[in-house]
Amino acid sequence: MKEDQNIKSQEVNDISDELYERFSITVDKGQEPLRIDKFLMSRIERATRNKLQQALNTGMVLVNGKEVRPNYKVKAQDEIILYSDVSPEDLAVVPEKIPLNIVYEDEELMVINKPAGMVVHPGSGNYSGTLLNGIAWYLQNENPAITEDNLPRFGLVHRIDKNTSGLLVLAKTPRSMSQLAKQFYDHSVRRQYVALVWGDLRKDEGTIKAHVGRHQRFRKQFEAYPEGDYGKEAITHYKVLERFGYVTTVACILETGRTHQIRVHMKYIGHPLFNDEYYGGDKIVKGTVFAKYKQFVENCFAICPRQALHAKTLGFVHPATGKEIFFNSELPDDMNEVIEKWRKYSSHKQIQ
């Protein structure tokens, strides 16, 4: 990478739920005219001509705010933005017949309500049974022209955790892939989650600002870094929906989309998600450990055997129509049932 170029890579990599990064490049004053694909090949590490051509042809490269084609010649002081797929693994997606809860579908995109327990895409230790395996089967049967060559990570622009339920959007065309990736990166997509967290939050609403990055010791976990010395910027807005004394139902709106962001942020302010085994929510955090209460909590854990988190709403601008569309999903049965149990328990107990 040459020093005479101002290149900034704003990565989401493995600490974000979005699957794209953005490179921002200011062309040097002394740059001679050069095809943009050749220019980017020489400036971006691990770039391949095929991926750059694909990015250019699908509108993932902007010069001075406008899409350009591979034959565009860069000139001095051009401002270049490249959105690049940073999927950690390039694994074949084998079509599998898996039931899908398709909330909405048209020629451009699909919105799916993912159940808890389903991994979004194949990866280390999860090569089958994922959402994309089911999407691959569905799309191939809907359109025989789709082959295994264009199935890997087909249409995926964001993801949610395996044990988080809720709404996901997938692109079906290059145009939608490009437009949706940009909306997620620019944080213009509207997303609201509902979570059951331990404790009685002091404020009815608030904002949590703390960088999120991998835990320095436990690499499968993430950590909040409030001083911003590590990780990536992360902002979560929350609002109390219902209080049960020992636990609280909250709505969380993401301004950024880091991996485990809500789980990490709620732990950071002392209110880990109910039954979140990674972040301390799978034990009694609030309340005395007397026999009947302990049994009640364990029964609740059995009803909702995962972190109590649901991606409830999703809103974005439709890539083809330019109009905003909005989707809302009901809480799944496990969360509804455990919330109802806490509602009844709190109404009969004196919360201390």
Token pair 């390039």 in the structure block, residue? 90
Element (H, E) at 262: helix 261-268
Distance CA 135, CA 132 (A): 5
CB 315 within 8 A of CB 326: yes
Tell me 273's DSSP state: B
Q: Is 236 exposed, middle or buried (CB count within 10 Å of its CB: 0-12, 13-18, 19+)?
A: buried
- Identify residue 50 by its one-letter amino acid code: N
Q: Which amino acid is at 110?
A: M
- Whether 281 contacts 198, CB under 8 Å: yes
Q: Which residues are catalytic?
A: 161
Beta strands, E only, 36-171: 61-63, 66-67, 73-74, 79-85, 102-105, 109-114, 165-171
Q: Catalogue the E-assigned strands of the chain.
A: 6-10, 20-26, 34-35, 61-63, 66-67, 73-74, 79-85, 102-105, 109-114, 165-171, 190-198, 205-209, 211-214, 222-225, 235-243, 247-254, 309-317, 324-328
Residue 205 DSSP label: E
